Amino acid sequence: MDIQQIKQRFGIIGNAPLLNRALEVAIQVAPTDISVFVTGESGTGKEIIPQVIHQLSSRKHAEYIAVNCGAIPEGTIDSELFGHEKGSFTGASGSRKGYFEVSDGGTIFLDEVAELPLQTQVRLLRVLETGEFIKVGSSKVIKTNVRVVAATNENIHQAIADGKFREDLFYRLSTVPISLPPLRDRQDDIHLLFRKFALDFADKYRMPAVKLTDDAVHLLNNYSFPGNIRQLRNIVEQISVIGTSREITANELIQYIPKKMDLSPALIQDNKESVNERELMYKFLFDMKKDLNDLKKLVLELIPGSNSTQLSRDQETTINRFTNDVQSAPSSTKILPPASPTETNFSHPVHSSELNYEKHEEVEESLSLEDREKDLIQKALVKHKGKRKYAAAELGISERTLYRKIKEYNLID
């Protein structure tokens, strides 16, 4: 049986090379009893591979059981897989056969196998190596002939490195690995799948099938589909049921595609004082930026050849403000001397000595927000002569927060 026949029989849509390769490997290993390990992201259709393997094998007339290992509680997983005897634990009112006993001669598909507890992994390894297991609460060894196909969407190598999955079990399960590609790597198949799902839902809900315009097809093909085929199917069902038009444009389609939320945790705070402190930092940074921009403008105006060498009142204010900031700056701040110490032709001549510029050893500037906050609070207290009420208003925080900060930084107001 070739690949196209397999696709028709199992309803597989797509012609991506990676998908075809996965199906080729499944067809080749089906007649054997080799264990197969299927990997791929959630929603890529990993459950199809074990069905193909089972139906093309000599076990197709025996039991096929699919087990979601992540959906079974840890306390009952051993009982579910291997069975238990009456009275083996609280609530065990009778004996019960496990999946490995029921599927004797058939195939068992262990989905999300990486979720198995370590103790259960030991039991599973014994079944794979010897074909034997023991029921919970029993001492009798039971033989079974089961073909195991396992799958996971986790990074199994990382799980092994973290000690969550046994390395020997992985090598025993992955005699033949099969990897299914994510939908974003099957761009040419996306519209085919959309049309297939649209026809399915049109038949299910007894309404005309939805269709996409060219711009909508382009948008669909360029979406990343983190939920893969399962997400695409859900989108088509929503459009089929909710959509008022049967021809969907890109503007209409985008309403059904989830928008990625990228909220920074720093912007979500429950504590009001924390918000005030953050606003304080932002205010300080914006003020610093404004000072630098004003200084740049002033320097450009004083370049030789400028039409005016007279200082306006705003320019004098800017110089005085910047000078005061320099004089009160922490010792870690880098202060550079002017390019030339000569007089400048101001209306009131200003010498480099009058600006109190001194040479300092260059050290790395502190980037600590605490240092910036402390410095800004000190300036506000000096400006308002120690009056906390006005200093707090200037800083944009409550007087209570200011008092707490004064105690925290041991400031003398």
Q: Are 224 and 185 in contact (CB under 8 A)?
A: no
| CA–CA distance, 11 with 200 (Å, rounded to integer) | 12
pLDDT tens per residue, range 345-403: 444 444 444 444 444 444 455 556 677 788 888 888 888 888 888 888 888 788 878 87
Three-state DSSP at 133 gives: strand
| CA–CA distance, 209 with 197 (Å, rounded to integer) | 9
Give me the tens of pLDDT residue by residue for the chain, a chain 413 residues long.
Answer: 789 999 999 999 999 999 999 999 999 999 999 999 999 999 999 999 999 999 999 999 999 999 999 899 888 899 999 998 887 777 777 888 999 999 999 999 999 999 999 999 999 999 999 999 999 888 899 999 999 999 999 999 999 999 999 999 999 999 999 999 999 999 999 999 999 999 999 999 999 999 999 999 999 999 999 999 999 999 999 999 988 888 999 988 998 888 753 333 433 344 444 445 656 666 667 677 777 777 776 666 665 554 544 555 555 665 566 555 555 555 444 444 444 444 444 444 444 444 444 444 444 555 566 777 888 888 888 888 888 888 888 887 888 788 778 877 777 64
In a 13 Å sphere around the CA of 75, the CA atoms on its Cβ side amount to: 5
- Structure-token match 């989905």, residue found: 111
In a 13 Å sphere around the CA of 404, the CA atoms on its Cβ side amount to: 9
- Burial class, 141, CB count within 10 angstroms (exposed 0-12 / middle 13-18 / buried 19+): exposed
Give, as one character, the DSSP assignment of residue 266. Answer: G
Q: Which of 313, 314, 327, 328 is nearest to 358 (CA)?
A: 327
Q: Which of 384, 326, 386, 314 is nearest to 359 (CA)?
A: 326
| CA–CA distance, 259 with 353 (Å, rounded to integer) | 59
Indicate the residue type of 171: Y
Distances (CA, A) of 32 to 7, 35, 57, 62, 282: 21, 9, 7, 15, 67
What's the CA dihedral at 239, 241, 243, 248 to 10 degrees?
A: 40
Q: Please tell me the predicted confidence (pLDDT) of residue 279.
A: 62
Distances (CA, A) of 148 to 30, 200, 254: 12, 32, 42
Q: Are 81 and 123 in contact (CB under 8 A)?
A: yes
Output the six-digit token pair for 185.
Answer: 């790597």
Between CA 11 and CA 18, with CA 17 as vertex, the angle to 5 degrees is: 80
Q: Are 50 and 149 in contact (CB under 8 A)?
A: yes
- Burial class, 30, CB count within 10 angstroms (exposed 0-12 / middle 13-18 / buried 19+): buried
The pTM of the whole model exceeds 0.75: no
The CATH code of domain 3-181 reads 3.40.50.300
Polymer length in residues for the chain: 413
Output the six-digit token pair for 266.
Answer: 């720093």
Q: Please tell me the predicted confidence (pLDDT) of residue 312.
A: 58
**What CATH class is the domain 184-256?**
mainly alpha
| CA–CA distance, 26 with 216 (Å, rounded to integer) | 35
Give, as one character, the DSSP assignment of residue 72. Answer: S
Q: Which of 359, 361, 390, 364 is nearest to 377 (CA)?
A: 390
- Helix, strand, coil % in the chain, rounded to nearest 5: 50, 10, 40
User: Domain segments of the chain: what residues?
Assistant: 3-181, 184-256, 268-338+346-409
Indicate the residue type of 174: S
